[in-house]
């Protein structure tokens, strides 16, 4: 169930994300909260996009501000969007109806999600922390629209 303990940012290869090795302007899908049941772990609502921002948005610094972790569930009709690192893109894009998300804030700026009223135009996000080894951890969230947000529903930009 819900725990008050932090969880590691576990990459698809099973390793823990680390500021020294995770590439700038790169993203991976991460499962949270991770359970011992592989079927549960495939649920869209447990799928998060862990992003290291591009250099021009501060991604070069080895600090927590260089990273974002957003729910991959698009706020429009719950397809899974993903981050595109290419020049001229560098944004989250949903393949279903073209909603686009700002990697800095998680706010939709194009497509149907951008036309939805707050909080349904901003992706839920998880708060991160980095330990002295550079390993990245997810802090226990507060699932409220005015805090970390609600998956599939959204978050108020504060």
Cβ distance 64 to 22 under 8 Å?
A: no
The CA distance from 154 to 85, in Å, is 23
Mean pLDDT of 91-104: 98
Query: In 3-state terms, the chain is what percent helix, strand and coil (to 5)?
Result: 10, 30, 60
Residue-wise pLDDT for 13-63, tens only, equals 999 999 999 999 999 999 999 999 999 999 999 999 999 999 999 999 999
Which pLDDT does position 4 carry in this prediction? 78
Asked whether the beta carbons of 95 and 45 are under 8 A apart, the reply is: no
Residue 2: the pLDDT is: 54
pLDDT tens string 113-158: 999 999 999 999 999 999 999 999 999 999 999 999 999 999 999 8
When pLDDT is averaged across residues 67-87 and rounded to a whole number, the result is 97
- Tell which wins on pLDDT, 1 or 2: 2
Does the pLDDT value for residue 96 go beyond 60?
yes
Coil, helix or strand at residue 151: coil
Does residue 73 register a pLDDT over 90? yes
Phi, psi of 135 (to 5 degrees): -70, 145
Its pTM stands at: 0.96
pLDDT-based confidence at residue 1 (cuts at 50, 70, 90)? very low
């Amino acid at each position: 169930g819900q725990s008050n303990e932090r969880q590691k940012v576990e990459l698809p290869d099973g390793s823990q994300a680390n500021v020294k090795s995770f590439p700038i302007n790169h993203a991976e899908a991460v499962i949270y909260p991770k359970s011992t049941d592989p079927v549960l772990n495939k649920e869209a609502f447990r799928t998060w996009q862990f992003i290291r921002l591009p250099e021009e948005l501060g991604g070069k610094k080895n600090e927590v501000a260089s990273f974002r972790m957003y729910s991959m569930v698009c706020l429009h009709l719950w397809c899974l969007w993903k981050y595109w690192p290419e020049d001229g893109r560098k944004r989250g894009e949903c393949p279903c109806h073209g909603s686009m998300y700002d990697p800095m804030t998680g706010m939709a700026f194009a497509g149907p999600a951008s036309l939805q009223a707050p909080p349904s135009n901003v992706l839920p996000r998880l708060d991160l922390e980095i330990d002295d080894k550079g390993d990245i951890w997810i802090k226990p969230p507060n699932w409220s629209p005015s805090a970390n947000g609600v998956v599939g529903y959204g978050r108020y930009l504060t």
